[in-house]
Amino acid sequence: MTALVNRPRPFGRNEGGRTPRPSLLAVDWSLVLAVAALVAISGIAVYSATRGPLDDRSFVLKQALFAAIGGTGGAVIAWIDFSKMRDWFRPGLIATLLALVLVLTPLGKEINGTRAWFSIGGFTVQPAEFTKLALIVGLALIFSGRRTETLGRRLGEAFALFGVFSALVFLEGETGSLLVYGAILLGVFLLAGVPVRLLVLLIVSGVGMVSLLLSTGALEGYREERLLSFLNPDADPQSAGYQVRQSLNAIGSGGIDGQGLFEGPVTQLRFLPEQQTDFIFAVIAEELGFLGAATVLALQAFVLLRIFRIAQLARNSFGSLLCGGVFAMFAYQVAQNAGMNMSLGPVTGIPLPFVSYGGSSLITSLLAIGIVQSVSIHRYRVGG
């Protein structure tokens, strides 16, 4: 460890020797541990949900691989001063837009009516996930520094960025991600000090847009059905409401200490569709009970608490807003995913951060943690 600490600064420009070197001591280790715990729980839950009668380990091994990739990537990002993001943003934005457009072409792959995937060597990559990071960085850039910029200009840029991403993602059919983008937008706006009346207006118009979408039937049938089914899960036991009902069955039968790992009948007999991704929370709740599910929620809350703290301690508003965007993203995803598992909200394909099976999602989440750690590690630097 000392070797690392004493290494000549490998990253970043020298900005006049006023900056301490990045220090492992500045890493928020409790955040690392909480995320590691969630990833570990994910491994167990994904294994339980996918092992099947033939002890299929492919899912959990892939998830471990994704965790390794995401963890490594996150570590690299954490070590780099987050102010470097300013330089990377432009090429990052171009790459993101390119990916979002290309996925709409025949290069993209359609799964369950959503053309949102690239298929690369047996893995599928979902650009809409990584777009979240581009959006967070972009919005944080727009609302930090640049003293002379007017609020109107900043809002204009922010809506342009959000609008382009949303439109492309909407074309893919990824309405779930669209909602996450909205949450990120609101989170950054909130911390950036956008006037309250504007925020209220934004929320109202957002709700209006969603209702408009539903009423005009612009959404394909099954998506609308999924959105509406939470209102009455028993309306159609075989389709959208079926998922919610099975999820409730799974969670409800978990009790305090659960049915036992690998022993939850709803999970093991595959009554729960998409159980390793969208409904992983129900799997944990069924097999590990209230103790397990509450632990997951507590860890998620702790992750958010640490991000919140790092946002407060960030050395500048750019850092704060980066953390704010990540905070909003995770908070919304936890609320949405756990909420739909417990029939508090509509069924959308939004993963539970760190826990749901899926490479793009897990890697994106870990990279986001890397950004937050970067803000934490480089918080003493006063320049830039």
Partner 1 sequence: MNETNRFEHVSGGRFAVLAFLAIAIFAGLGARLWFLQVMSPVDFVEVVEEQRTREIITEAPRGRILDVNGRVLADTRESLVVTLDAVQLAEVAAGSDAETRLAAREVIYAEVATILAAEGVKAKVEDLERTYQRAATQSLKPVVVAEDVTIDTWIEVEERALAGFGVERRWVRDYPYGEIAAHIIGHVGEVRSSGEAAELTARAPGRRYQAGDAVGIRGIEATFESRLRGQPEIRVIELDAFAQVVGTREVTQEAVPGEDVVLTIDIDVQYAVEQVLLDELEQARLRPACSDACLPHRGQAGSIVALDVTTGAVAAMASAPSYDPNEWVFGIPSDQLDYLRTSLDSPFLNRAVSGLYPAGSTFKPVTAYAAVTTGARSPGAVWEDEGVYQLESCREEGGPGCRFQNAGAAVLGPVDLITSLSRSSDTYYYSLGETFWVERDTYGETVIQDTAELFGFGQPSGVQLPADSAGRLPDLEWLQATYGEDQGWFTGDNVNLSIGQGELLVTPIQLANAYATIASGGERYEPSVVAEVRTADGAEVQEFAPRLAAEQSLDPTAIGSIRQGLEWAVQTEQGTAWNAFVGFPMNEVPIAGKTGTAQVTRRADYSLFAAYAPALRPRYAVAAVLEESGFGGDAAAPAVRRVIEHLFEIEGVPMAPIRSDSGDAPADPALLFGATP
Chain positions contacting partner 1, by CB under 8 A: 53, 143-151, 154, 187, 190-193, 246, 248-256, 265-266, 269-273, 285, 289-290, 293-294, 297, 300-301, 304, 308, 311-312, 316-317, 320-321, 324, 327-328, 331, 334-335, 338-339, 342, 344
Query: Which of 66/330 has CB closer to partner 1?
Result: 330
- Its sign, for the CA torsion 255, 260, 263, 266, is positive
Question: What is the closest distance, in whole angstroms, from the C-beta atom of residue 185 to partner 1 in the complex?
Answer: 14
Query: Which of 135/191 has CB closer to partner 1?
Result: 191
DSSP helix, strand, coil percent of the chain (3-state; round to 5):
65, 5, 30
Would you call 204 helix, strand, or coil by DSSP?
helix
Give the N- to C-terminal CA distance of the chain in Å, as an integer.
27
Query: Which of 37/294 has CB closer to partner 1?
Result: 294
* DSSP H or E segment with residue 341: helix 317-341
Question: What is the closest distance, in whole angstroms, from the C-beta atom of residue 326 to partner 1 in the complex?
Answer: 12
Question: What is the closest distance, in whole angstroms, from the C-beta atom of residue 121 to partner 1 in the complex?
Answer: 30
Q: Let me know: does 293 contact 284? Beta carbons within 8 Å.
A: yes
Question: What is the closest distance, in whole angstroms, from the C-beta atom of residue 230 to partner 1 in the complex?
Answer: 13
Residue among 252, 234, 244 nearest 344 (CA)? 244
Cβ within 8 Å of residue 326, ≥6 positions away: 136, 307, 368, 369, 371, 372
The conformation of residue 108, written as its DSSP 8-state character, comes to E
Question: What is the closest distance, in whole angstroms, from the C-beta atom of residue 152 to partner 1 in the complex?
Answer: 10
Residues 202, 155: Cα–Cα separation, whole Å: 12
Query: Which of 124/253 has CB closer to partner 1?
Result: 253
Query: Which of 124/249 has CB closer to partner 1?
Result: 249
Burial class (CB in 10 A: 0-12, 13-18, 19+), 237: exposed
Query: Which of 151/235 has CB closer to partner 1?
Result: 151
Query: Which of 38/363 has CB closer to partner 1?
Result: 38
Question: What is the closest distance, in whole angstroms, from the C-beta atom of residue 71 to partner 1 in the complex?
Answer: 25
CA 267 to each of CA 30, 230, 271, 342: distance values in angstroms, whole numbers, following the listed order: 31, 20, 6, 15
Question: What is the closest distance, in whole angstroms, from the C-beta atom of residue 202 to partner 1 in the complex?
Answer: 14
| Structural tokens at position 292 | 């397990």
